[in-house]
Each structure stands twice: as structure tokens, then as C-alpha cells.
Structure 1
């Protein structure tokens, strides 16, 4: 097998890989839901216009306890009055009805490259919704199937001036129990502490459970394609599954419920994640649910807490809403960093990401970091590359003999194979010698592909000249065309013993096919392959010259 044939095998493997992963993602996507008869607006009194006959199983507020109780019948989020909170990285809106977080803008991330509009990770729009709800349920909870509490706030707008900002929301029950729902924001952090400060002023004990859930309209809002697949849906971590996706179609098919120490629940999208991280020292119930409006939920219920008369307790959890920052996610909860999903090649993608980040910290340019990674990879593979080109040179030398054998044995493939194996042994040629370096590059290529696809640091990362986003395709297709030209040059420089006309035509078509593939790949990935080809051409030229010099010197000695 020669190098050219290996390229064909790799091309088929790559194409098969992309088709397989797209098939997997299609299985997790939900077709668009017809919302023509579903209410999308909130009425003036703060109540949703929901039909009264919505069954209880379609509700939103979970039932406390660890026995997998059926959710009750509140059907959709309501706005009530809003307050706005702004930090250096977040601008959020809180609904006083329930104290839910119904909008969150990421101030350091643009919705579209070059535009002023910020990326909105939580929102409540006509026809589409993604919000973070939390509350107190159980025997004495204030959130139930009939009503949500309406909190009071001291002001309608809060702005961060120091390193921390506390936003308290107040509610008092009829029996005198005082509840403060407190959001605590930290400068530079996308994680928000959410706490319930409860003081029991009644003469009887009170029992409550803290719950938090993420609710989202179950339609695929991503921009997925064969070469840029993205997952949008739920995920969780439990004692038995350190990281498990639970797609919208899964939520539609069946409700999920499990008790686990620690754990977390999340909604994922391309480069960003929203996650509830409950008390990691407690046993929590994780669950999913859906309602009649096509909205899916994933959430947790904490353990029951009993508050004696006159006692005060504080129940806390964390809500993360931002880019998939692996270091910060790892700090918040075990396995939360796995929401940066590198697929089955995570074991290779993680060190590549680490190396890329390290190099970028020095050169301050992700494109230059990719070039340096390419140089390092090609340097490490050089001994194998040298063996590859030496093997190819030997194959070129015996090409006339191979042609003669094919003509002599004709269609007798068994005799032809035996004769060729004998010739390989006599000439000390390994026909597979050219395969290993290319096969080793394939997992590196795919791992780097996932790093570029999943790492938010590379989203909208500028390189130079016309490449202003390494995570997106080249807008002018210049890099793919240069890559195709470099591949064509490599093909012309490589000696090939292929004599079959059909094989020769297929091999000649390979640069065109690869160029078409790469038109849709992230620019950073095309940059890697282009630089790799340029280095390969340089190495090939050097090695062939050394071989020619050695052969010329041998002829002179004779």
C-alpha cells in the first residue's frame, strides 16, 4: 500500500466519521414544534394564558421527596415585575414573581462577530424560552402548582461597583416566616450564588426543599451541519454517570429521575452552558419533565430541611451561565468541565487544548498557537515521516518490476501476490511503511477539530488578514484553496507505483475532494492542515535529496 492509497482510505474514514456524528446528533434533535395554538405572551396581570385543561403531568413545579413524584400543574413562566442586574460580565433580569432568572446577556461575548449585540444565553421571547427557575417546595414551600410567590425588592436596578454584588428579594408568609432570596454576583465570574435565607417566626416547625431547574423550548435552535455539528439539549452528572446527555427527544419520550450524591444539571449549546450546581455535600434528586407548550425541563431537588420555630437557616446553590470555561467549571463541580465535549478522542483533545492554551499565553494569538502545535506534531512524527518517504522512494525504485509482474501474471492474483511479497523481502521494502505517519495524524486532526469546535476561547478568535474567526470557515475560501494546492504539489512530488488507470484518476481527484471538504471546516483546522502540508513538502524535499545524494555517492564508489 502506498501513501496515495492511504490518503484515499483516510478521506473515507474522515467522511464516515462526520456522517456518523451527524447521525448521532440528529437522533438528539427534536423537529420543530407547531406553536400556532400555544400561548406565547404573558397577560397584563402576570398570569400566563394557559388553557385550564392542561393535565398535571405537564406541569413545571416538581414534587419534593426522593420517590420520583409526578410534577404538579404550573405550566409556564410568568414575568411579573422585573429588576435588572449588571456586572462586568453579565446583564440579567430577575422576575419578582418566583424570583426566577429570565434573561442573561454575556457582556464579553458578541452574538455575531463585529456586532454590538451581546450573546443572550437566557431569554423569554415569543415562541422561544430558556430560563433558570428556583424555589422552595415541600410541605411548607412557597412554590406550588397554584401560585408562585411575588417578591419585593429595594430597587429596580442593581449595578456592580465593587468585587461582589448582592441582590436580595424579600417575601413574608402569612404565618410570619421571612424569606430572603439572595443572588450574589462576583466580578469576572459567570457563576452566581443563589440562596434562600429562611427565618421561622411561626410557632410550628417548617419543612422545605430547595429546587432549581432549567426550562427551554424543545426545538433545535443550533446551526448544525455535517462538518460543524453542535448539540443543543440537556445533560447531567450523577454517581452512575459522570457526564450524560439527555436530549430533547429523550425528555419528550420519558421523564428521568434519580437520587445521587452531589451531581449537577445543565442545558448545553455551542460554546456555552447553563448549569445548576446543588450542594455537593448532599444527596439530590435529578429529574427531567416537559409541558404541553413544548418546553423541556431538567432540574434538581435538594434534601428536606426542617426549620424549628425561631430558627434561621440558609440554603445555597450555584447557577453557572456562560462560556464553557473548563477551569471554572472544574472548580464548581466534579465532571462539569466535561460539558466541553471532545467526543471519544477526549483523552487526546484535552492535552492538545492544554498545549494550545499554553502557547497562546505566550504568542497571544490562537492562529500562531495552532501553527506552533502543527510544528511540534510534525517534529515529533519526523522519524516516522522519514521512514515513510524512504519506503516510498524504494517503492519508486521497484515500480518497473511491479509493472512487469502485473503484465506477466495478468489476472492470477494469488501468484502476483506471492511474487510481490518475495520481491518486497528481497528489496527490503515495507509496503505499509508509508501508512503509519498519516494514520497517526488522523486522530490528531479529529481531536484538534473537536477542540476548535468546542473551546469558547477560539470562538471569534482573530488570526490575521482576512481570518477574523478561527472557529468559522474561511469567508473567502482562500485557506482551503491553498490547502488543495499544497496537497496537489505533495502528490506531484511523491513517487507512486500505481499503474491502474482508474486508481490513478481517483488519486488525481483527491486534492479536489479534500478541498471541497475543507471549504466547510473551521479556518483554524484548515490552517493546521495547510501548515502540516507545507512542512511535509519541506521534509519530503529534504529527505529525497538526501536519498539521491546517498545513491549518487554509492554509484561513484562502484
Structure 2
């Protein structure tokens, strides 16, 4: 069996499947938002998308207020956020250290509120004595409109205060930490009344439903996800939210909104019972959130409770600090068990050399080195098969159309000559999963976003701007074909298709991330060198 041709055929089938799968996703009919869906969403989220408390108690009606235009701005070394004093929602979040475009100064904006698009993080207190409801949100007062993390300062607290008509003071505190993308949101309830208070925190992420910006070579996900004690990670996309509201009770857990390279997530208390929910309001805004445990605050008592909110890149180390399963939003698919060690090895290489392109080259050399014994066995088997070609032709002439005898005689000849006809296949099935796993590592790892290599390759996460790597990849494929002459018995149509394979793949790779094409190119170069070495060794043994 001709190994390289089989690799090309399998890879071509893989790419064809990806194209078909993406076409299906783009052209599949979208579920309609029915009247019943909208009605159910309205019942559960009310006017301001505030969820109904678990005890079904009527939320305390608040004075309806107009959203303030005087937003509270907070700047740290990582975040530039704006908080609406009405409700205390985070309505804008820019990632200072992640730029919108390569070589530009504008930061990447994750949370925002525009006329045609909303993506914000909401939180509040509901329940019998809650201060947020569908009839209104608490209007907080802040000591200042601008906050900034000073040089040398590790933490920055932004307190917002609301005094209820009964004199109870509610303080919503946002705590920002140097170098962190997560924000601690705490409620400090000081019950100065004569009656016990019952309140329940909720946190949700609201986003206007919009399609993902993925394409056939970059199939990325945009939508919700959640975690429970039983399910560590599960996507819950916009279509599912429109069809059915999420309702899961669990200890701990988290909810999130995902997109390519970035995530926002609420992580409530890990030792409390929380309810994960979703809803769709106005037929266009998807909400995914949690309702925390109900808290009783006795007269004269003060109580503090809260949750963590993450808004930033899919940094696996940072996400794991908040929850041992939150790092799973970096989704490597079914080959995660192979992608995770590849990612860790990539990180180790980068820690030494500081260049992601060179790290990918080292990954290639490592993988090819590990597979070398199998590669040698593969080429040896192929050489023996080619040397047996005249004898196989003799068997065909001897047995004619008697396939049973022909098969028995052929297997007997393989046994005597100690040739494994499947010896050329095993490396193929080992290389393809590695290729796919690395593909998802390069697709999902935010570290490679805007990561330069050399010269014209300044972003390994996108396609080569001048298509140099795809062209070089086609050239190396052509050289590999010349090192493995086609069988004279090959069907002419198949032979013609194989001759065009380097061109076909050069075109396909024009849309792949440059980092992945670099991996495949280096793999081809190493394979050419290995072939020359192995073939020279075989010729010394009399095998051509």
C-alpha cells in the first residue's frame, strides 16, 4: 500500500467532510421562535430579564428608573469596564492586553451594548426582600465615576450602595485583581430592620443572538455552555435556548457564553445549590445564568455572599483557578485526550524558545521522531511489497479469476517472505489523529492569536497572507510523490487524480491557519529526509 497516497486520500476525505459539515450548518433551517417560546421566556424573565425567585415569592417592587447615562468606569492592567449604576450590570468590557487587530492599538471589546447588539453581564438580588425585579432595578450610588488600579496596587474595590425604603443597606462590591480577568461580585447586606430578610443572588449573561463568524476551514462556536456536578462541560447553543429553557439544579457549576478565543462566565459558590437556567427575551436576546442559594439575614445582622465573573481570553490556567472544569471551554473535541498533551508540550517548548512557530516545528520533530520506528517499518513493508509485485502478477496469471485460491496463495507468499500487507497503514492512522488534534489546538489556543513566526508570518492563527506556506506544501508533496513511483497497475483515472493531489492540497491549505500549514510542511520535509535515509538503508540490503 502506498502510504503517502493513502494519507492524501484520507486527508482529502477529511477536508471534504469538513466542507460538507459546514455547508450543512450554514444551510440548515433555523428553528422559529414560536409564540409559546416567547411567552414562556416572558413569564420567567419579566421586563428586565430578571429571573423569578425559587420560592415564588413576589419580588418587592422597586421604583422604575431610567438607565443612567453616567456609567462607572473601572480600568486595570487587563480590563477596561463600564458599570451601569442601575442594577450594577457590566455593560462594557474591553481587554486591554488583547488587541482587536494585529498591529493596532484598539483593544478587543468583549462586552458591549449597542443599538443592534447587546452582550452584557447582569446580576442582582431577587426573592421576598430582593431589590431587583421586572418592575425595576436598584439604583446604586457610587463614591466616584472613575476608578483605576494604581501602580503597585494588587486589588481594587468598587462599592455601589443602595438604601432600601425600610433603611436596609445593600452594598454591591466589584473586586478587581492585578493581572486577572475575573471580577469578584459580592453583596453585603446590612439588615438594620426589625424583620429577617430573604434574598437570592442571580447572575446571567445576555447576548443578542447572532450567527458564528466561522467558515469551512475555521469552524468556531458561538453560544452558551454550562457545567453541573454530573456534566462537567456541555454546550447549549442559541437554537437549543430558543427550543427549550435550560433548568438544572446542581452543587457548584458555572454558565458561560463562548466565542472564538474568548469567554464570559459566571461561577457561583461551589459549596451551594445553584440553578442553571436559560431564556430568550423579545425573540432575539439569549440569557444564560444561575440563581444562587437563598440567604436569610437576621435583624441586626450583616451577611456577605457573591460569585466570580470571568470576562477574557480562554486562558486555561486562569480558568482552572475559578473552577476545575471551566478550562473545558477550550474545546478540543473528541480528541481532547491527545490534544491536551500536545498543548502542554507546545507550552513547554514555547517557555524555552519564545516563538510559537519554532515551537510548532519542535512539535513536528518530536512527533516524527516518536513515529520513526513505525515509519521505517512502513517503508520497509512497502519496499518488500514492490519487490513482490512480479510474483503477485505470476499468481494472477496462474489462478485467473479464482479469487479464493489467489487470496490463499498470496497470503502464503506474504507469510514466507515475512511481509505484512498492512504494515504501511498503521502510521497513517496514527498521524491523522495527531494532525486533527493539533488542528484543534491551533484553532482553540488563544496563545497563538496574533502570535508571530518570522518575516511575513505575523499571526499563526490565520491563513498565510501571501500563500507561501501552502505553495511550499504543494511542492514538498510533489517531491514525496516522486520518491514513491506510482504502481503500473494503478487505474489511470486514480493515477491522474493522484498527480493533481499536491495542487489540490495547496489550494485547500490556503484557508488553513498558517501554524497548521507550517506543521504539515515541516512534516513533509522530515518525511522526505526520512524516506531518503530509509531507502538508502534498504538498498544496501538489496531492497529497491
TM-score by length of 2: 0.92
Aligned length, in residue pairs: 531
Equivalent pair of 1:57/1:291 in contact (CA under 8 Å): no
Aligned twin of 1:381: 371
Pick from 245, 263, 270 the counterpart of residue 280 of structure 1: 270
Q: Distance in 2 between matches of 1:291 and 1:75?
A: 19
The structure 1 residue matched to 2:165, chosen from 143, 164, 174, is 174
Deviations 1:244-286 (A, max 9, x none): 1000000001111111000000000001110000011111011
* 1:429 and 2:440 correspond: no
Q: Which residue of 1 aligns with 2:451?
A: 461
> Deviations along 1:113-151, whole A, 9 cap, x unmatched?
122211111000111110000000000000001101111
Between 357-366 and 513-522, report the one with greater CA deviation.
Answer: 513-522
The CA distance in 2 between the partners of 1:292 and 1:434, in whole Å, is: 58
1:393 aligns with 2:366: no
Deviation of 1:512 (Å): 2.1
CA 1:68/1:430 → structure 2, altered by over 3 Å: closer, same or farther?
farther
What's 1:546 paired with? 537
1:111 aligns with one of 76, 100, 115: 100
Tell me: CA distance 1:117–1:392, structure 2 relative to 1, closer, same or farther (3 Å): same
> C-alpha deviations, 1:490-529, integer Å up to 9, x for none?
1110244351222222222222222222111111111111
Structure 1 pair 280/21, CA: closer, same or farther in 2 (3 Å)?
farther
Measured after TM superposition, the shift of residue 396 of structure 1 is 2.2
Matches within 5 A, 1:53-132: 55-57=42-44, 59=46, 60-65=49-54, 78=67, 80-132=69-121
Query: 1: distance between equivalents of 2:397 and 2:117?
Result: 69
SS of the residue aligned with 1:476? coil
What are the within-5 Å matches in structure 2 for residues 21-420 of structure 1?
Answer: 22=22, 55-57=42-44, 59=46, 60-65=49-54, 78=67, 80-161=69-150, 162-220=153-211, 222-403=212-393, 405=395, 413-420=403-410
Aligned mates of 1:139, 1:333 — CA distance in 2:
30
Q: For residues 254 and 498 of structure 1, do their structure 2 counterparts lie closer, same or farther at Cα, with a shift above 3 Å needed?
A: farther
Task: State how 1:506-525 maps to structure 2 within 5 Å.
Answer: 506-525=497-516
Rounded Cα–Cα distance in structure 2 between residues aligned with 1:405 and 1:74 = 94
Bigger shift: 499-508 or 356-365?
499-508
Contact 1:483–1:529 under 8 Å retained in 2? yes
Name the Cα RMSD after superposition.
Answer: 2.8
Residue 431 of structure 2 aligns to a residue in which SS?
helix
Alpha-carbon separation, structure 2, partners of 1:68 and 1:10: 60
| TM-aligned CA distance change 1:86 to 1:528, over 3 Å | same
Shift of 1:304: 0.7
Q: How far 1:13 sits from its partner (Å)? A: 4.3
Q: For residue 541 of structure 2, give the secondary structure of its aligned residue in structure 1.
A: helix
In the aligned structure 2, how far is the partner of 1:431 from the partner of 1:75? Answer: 78
Q: Which runs of 5+ in 1 are unaligned?
A: 34-53
Q: 1:73, 1:464 → 2: CA distance?
A: 59
1:2 touches 1:432 (CA, 8 Å); kept in 2?
no
Structure 2 gaps of 5+ residues are: 34-40
- Deviation at residue 9 of structure 1 after TM alignment: 4.1
Given candidates 463, 469, 474, the residue that maps to 1:473 is: 463
Q: d(CA) in 2 for partners of 1:468 and 1:294?
A: 37
TM-score (norm 1): 0.89
User: Is residue 2:522 matched to residue 1:494?
Assistant: no
CA change 1:239–1:27 in 2 (3 A) is farther
User: Aligned in 2, Cα 1:467/1:346: closer, same or farther, shift over 3 Å?
Assistant: same
